[in-house]
Structure 1
Amino acid sequence: MDDPKARPHDGKGRFVRTLSTAEREAEAARLRSLGWTYQRIADTLGWANKGDAHHAVSKVLRDTVQEAGDDLRSLELTRLDALYVAATEVLEREHVTVSNGRVVDLHGAPIPDDGPVLAAIDRLLKIQERRARLLGLDAPVKRDISLTDERAAAIEALVEELGEQ
């Protein structure tokens, strides 16, 4: 099987993308969309390690076979949705404090256990962060920054001072 590091290059140190390479990268993305681990993909496609499989899938997402990349994104979003629903169910469930296998109560009423609720909130936040990264929602915000003449002069003076050092 072809080793990603042994691909032909263009004489300028850059790898040349062959039809075979593109097909193997697309296959790696397809297998990932089926839920395969990177290690299993690497083993199946004959790559040295899971990093090569990860690189291939990333390349597909970035450069090639947009449809396979869209399928993978869609699958990941579906998985995140299912995790979000499960975590929300935990959040909304009633939790009571248990000690030595018995419900702890105060004046006949069970004492609520906030631990699972707080853990569910943390998990929901992590799922939301992952979704935002997958969708590119955390892109940097462009700011329009204007300087007064006084601040511009101060910056120029500082640049000159640093240049002299």
Structure 2
Amino acid sequence: MARRLTEEDQQRRTKVMELKRRGHSFEAIGAQLGISKQRAHQLYWDTLKKIPVQEVAEYRVEQAERLDEMLRRAYEVLERRHITVSNGRVIYHEDEPLADDGPTLQAIRTVLAIEEQRARLLGLNAPVKQELGGEVQVTYSFEGVDLGQLK
């Protein structure tokens, strides 16, 4: 028989879900609630398992929207022109401000991370079944084994 959750347990689960939705790590959640990161992770997944299918679908939509906003902001950084500044001064090369590729490369890494998260959220990384067509003939060869002794 399942144990009934106390008010404190329910509040803790609610807080874990709220913090995770805001993007906090399990380590940060655990520190804030005075529990281990493993316990925060366990509470999160146990709670997710008990959420009705409709709510899970709504949660996925909410997460996808959050990822969309992050992606939009990352693309703003990616498309922006960045210049090199050293000691508070713009660095020039041939009378032109020197481009700084660092923020662009970081924005690319961020875009890739967001897209990876989206793929996991939507199940796009699931193994793909492939069906082979045509006639296939398989031949097994056993070396060093007397097939007559395998009965």
TM-score w.r.t. the length of structure 1 is: 0.64
Aligned twin of 1:20: 5
Matched, 1:148 2:133: no
Aligned twin of 1:65: 51
Q: How far apart, CA to CA, are the structure 2 residues paired with 1:40 and 1:76?
A: 23
Any conservation in 1 of the 2:78–2:104 contact (CA below 8 Å)? yes
Change (3 A) 1:97 1:54: same
Return the offset for 1:124: 0.3
Q: How far apart, CA to CA, are the structure 2 residues paired with 1:126 and 1:102?
A: 32
Matched, 1:34 2:18: yes
Matched, 1:81 2:68: yes
Aligned twin of 1:127: 114
Any conservation in 1 of the 2:75–2:111 contact (CA below 8 Å)? yes
Return the offset for 1:109: 1.4
Q: How far apart, CA to CA, are the structure 1 residues paired with 2:143 and 2:61?
A: 49
Any conservation in 2 of the 1:39–1:53 contact (CA below 8 Å)? yes
Residue type matched to 2:83 in 1? V
Counting aligned pairs with the same residue, the percent is 34
Give the gaps of 5 or more residues in structure 2.
21-27
Q: How far apart, CA to CA, are the structure 2 residues paired with 1:42 and 1:17?
A: 24
- Give per-residue Cα distances to partners, 1:14-69, cap 9 Å, x unaligned: xx533438x947962x32342255315753xxxx53312312321332x3222554
Aligned twin of 1:4: none
- Spell out structure 1 runs of 4+ moving beyond 6 A: none
Residue type matched to 1:35 in 2? L
1:95 to 82, 89, 103: 82
The residue matched to 1:31 in structure 2 has which SS?
A: helix
Matched, 1:110 2:94: no
TM-score w.r.t. the length of structure 2 is: 0.69
Aligned length: 137
Return the offset for 1:159: 9.6
Give the gaps of 5 or more residues in structure 1.
1-15
Change (3 A) 1:41 1:116: closer
Any conservation in 2 of the 1:26–1:68 contact (CA below 8 Å)? no
Change (3 A) 1:71 1:157: same
Aligned-pair RMSD on alpha carbons?
3.4
Residue type matched to 1:38 in 2? I
Q: How far apart, CA to CA, are the structure 2 residues paired with 1:69 and 1:119?
A: 32
